[in-house]
Amino acid sequence: MAGLVKWRDADSRSITNLSDGHRVKLIGWVFTKRVHSNKVFFMLRDRYGYIQLVGDSERLGDAFKQVSEIPVESAIAVEGVVKRDPRAPGGVEVHIDKVDVVARADVWPITPSVAKSPEAMFDLRHLTIRGPKSRAVLLTRSALVQAAWEYFVNNDYVLITAPTFITSAVEGGATLFELKYFDRKAYLTQSSQFYEEAAICVFEKVFVMQPSFRAEKSRTRKHLTEFLHIEAEVAFADHEDIMDVEEELVKYIVNRLNELVPKEVEYVRGSRLPDIDSRFERISYDEAIEILQRKGFDISWGEDFGADEERALSEEFDVPFFVYGFPTVTRSFYHMDDPTRPEVTLSSDLMAPEGFGEITSGGQRIHEYDYLLSKIRRMGLNPEEYGWYLEIRKYGMPPHSGFGMGVERVLRWLLHLPHVRDATLFPRTPSRLYP
Ligand code: NSS
């Protein structure tokens, strides 16, 4: 079997440029199969998409019966000639005269009744990812990460990687996953932010793209226990500056997806991504509370938004918008308080419109040692747990700001997916640890 990839001389993407009668060798998987008396139609799936194969008893001779019995999802290698046919998807089909079964599939377990149950489909995720929708979602995810990467590299950021095993909480103890680290206790990281803060004293602008973990029991459409976290941190930047970065990044991602994966986006979403040119509105937390109270929500100043509030608020907008100035009591200790109004922080969440809600969260950090120490104490935390994080404030830590963005949240919004678990290859939720 070695050499099969080199043996291929066309694929579903390049074939549309070949003329009628051109002889090709293809490899891929049998996506669908139809048999009509003396003809068999395969939809061959490869890296780039789909191509229709036609086999008839005349060309295949004695092999016809065997070929027509090849199970779906078998990997095959075929030879044949290109034929244009407006009825074929993509306008081209291949009339095959030679078929090798590279890897024969068992009976495909995804029956119509399995397909009706989302849970059953996720139990078989190792197989269901082969479907056209998952394929398009995952390709869009890859393009989204590429676009974010491009944005940061084009703007002079340095990629760093931070540890996954950590010793203290960034975003509160309630959502830490605890584990045994030899004879000590450790946790899985919730955010690489603190490590980024150390690194900005070397590079000024840094970013990370790596998983974060949250022991979040909440069964919502926007929570995973493991998600891909894109984070950035910028030295000598204030809260307004970092909102500008988030806005630019989101606009860059949307434009780039329209260039990189327009077909996939349209297939999943049902429409092209609208261009976003206008400036993202910035509303205060106080204004957000007023909007919610007007809409009949029983929420008072100082409370965090729940899933329902977030949805209701973001239904009021049709492009992303920031909510800034969250109350100090609702935010983690590292946030800088607004000097003109210490009961709120210099922080913001970027909300996706149309009910999707929070996609990024960021703000300005406390960069002074004494200030941070007093806030850690004020919030009832133990300064000893934040030793090195405090210590970097003793050695030339400038004002700085940063944010984190959940890739699955952004993808869910852009593709209008029902749940964040649809936006990742093998999702992890409180009830799903397999496959
Ligand atoms: O908890 S955050 O709101 N903020 C942080 O972790 C900061 N330390 C990031 C930073 O400033 N460097 O999470 C940031 C984003 C949030 O807006 C979501 O988009 C995403 O991370 N996020 C999640 N996505 C999926 N599932 C869960 N559970 C989740 N939690 C946060």
Which domains, and CATH codes, for the chain?
2-103 (2.40.50.140), 125-423 (3.30.930.10)
Closest residue by CA, ligand 1 atom 9: 404
Under a CB-based contact definition with an 8 Å cutoff, are residues 393 and 214 in contact? no
- Least Cα distance to 269 among 140, 166, 183, 180 occurs for 140
Measured N-to-C along each axis, helices 262-269 and 239-260 cross at an angle, to the nearest 10 degrees, of 100
Pairwise CA distance, residues 141 & 419, whole Å:
14
Tell how far the Cα of 144 is from the centroid of ligand 1, in angstroms.
17
Distances in Å between the Cα of 160 and the Cα atoms of 152, 157, 199 are 12, 9, 8
Write down the pLDDT at residue 100.
Answer: 95
Enter the tokens of residue 280.
Answer: 């993202």
Give the pairing type, strands 281-284 and 321-324.
parallel
Element (H, E) at 66: helix 64-68
Name beta bridge partners: 95.
Answer: 54, 81
The alpha carbon of 85 is separated from its chain's Cα centroid by a whole number of angstroms, namely 37
In order along its 435 residues, the chain shows pLDDT tens digits of: 556 667 899 999 999 999 999 999 999 999 999 999 999 999 999 999 999 999 999 999 999 999 999 999 999 999 999 999 999 888 999 999 999 999 999 999 999 999 999 999 999 999 999 999 999 999 999 999 999 999 999 999 999 999 999 999 999 999 999 999 999 999 999 999 999 999 999 999 999 999 999 999 888 999 999 999 999 999 999 999 999 999 999 999 999 999 999 999 999 999 999 999 899 999 999 999 999 999 999 999 999 999 999 999 999 999 999 999 999 999 999 999 999 999 999 999 999 999 999 999 999 999 999 999 999 999 999 999 999 999 999 999 999 999 999 999 999 999 999 999 999 999 999 999 999
pTM passes above 0.85: yes
Q: From the CB of residue 77, how many other CB atoms can be counted at a distance below 10 Å?
A: 17
Q: List pocket residues of ligand 1, CB cut-off 6 Å.
A: 170-171, 190-191, 193, 214, 216, 223-224, 227, 229, 231, 358-362, 402-406, 408-409, 420
Pocket test for ligand 1, best of 205, 242, 409, 411 (most atoms within 8 A of CB): 409
Tell how far the Cα of 334 is from the centroid of ligand 1, in angstroms.
15
Residues 6+ apart with CB under 8 A from 134: 128
Write down the pLDDT at residue 218.
Answer: 82
> Residue 216 CA: which ligand 1 atom is closest?
28
Pocket test for ligand 1, best of 166, 212, 331 (most atoms within 8 A of CB): 212
Residues 6+ apart with CB under 8 A from 56: 38, 39, 40, 64, 95
Closest residue by CA, ligand 1 atom 2: 361
Closest residue by CA, ligand 1 atom 11: 403
Write down the pLDDT at residue 90.
Answer: 85
Tell how far the Cα of 193 is from the centroid of ligand 1, in angstroms.
11
What size, in residues, is the chain?
435
The region that residue 217 occupies, defined by phi over 0 for left and psi between -120 and 50 for alpha, beta otherwise, is alpha
Closest residue by CA, ligand 1 atom 5: 404
Write down the pLDDT at residue 2.
Answer: 52
Q: Please spell the DSSP secondary structure of 278-290, one letter per residue.
A: SPPEEEEHHHHHH
> Residue 232 CA: which ligand 1 atom is closest?
12
Tell how far the Cα of 212 is from the centroid of ligand 1, in angstroms.
8
Closest residue by CA, ligand 1 atom 22: 406
Residues 6+ apart with CB under 8 A from 287: none
Tell how far the Cα of 176 is from the centroid of ligand 1, in angstroms.
13
> Residue 225 CA: which ligand 1 atom is closest?
28
Write down the pLDDT at residue 1.
Answer: 53
Amino acid at 127: L
Tell how far the Cα of 310 is from the centroid of ligand 1, in angstroms.
15
Give the pairing type, strands 75-84 and 226-235.
unpaired
Half-sphere exposure of 197 (CA within 13 A, CB side): 29
Half-sphere exposure of 245 (CA within 13 A, CB side): 34
Distances in Å between the Cα of 167 and the Cα atoms of 180, 201, 365, 372, 386 are 11, 22, 20, 19, 9
Under a CB-based contact definition with an 8 Å cutoff, are residues 323 and 345 in contact? no
Closest residue by CA, ligand 1 atom 19: 406
Tell how far the Cα of 360 is from the centroid of ligand 1, in angstroms.
7
Name beta bridge partners: 321.
Answer: 281, 351
Pairwise CA distance, residues 127 & 26, whole Å:
22
The alpha carbon of 408 is separated from its chain's Cα centroid by a whole number of angstroms, namely 3
Under a CB-based contact definition with an 8 Å cutoff, are residues 227 and 420 in contact? yes
Secondary structure in 3-state letters for 122-170 = HHCHHHHCCCHHHHHHHHHHHHHHHHHHHHHHHCCCEECCCCCEECCCC
* Terminal Cα-to-Cα distance of the chain (whole angstroms): 29
Peptide bond into 435 cis (omega under 30): yes
> Residue 332 CA: which ligand 1 atom is closest?
8
Q: From the CB of residue 259, how many other CB atoms can be counted at a distance below 10 Å?
A: 9
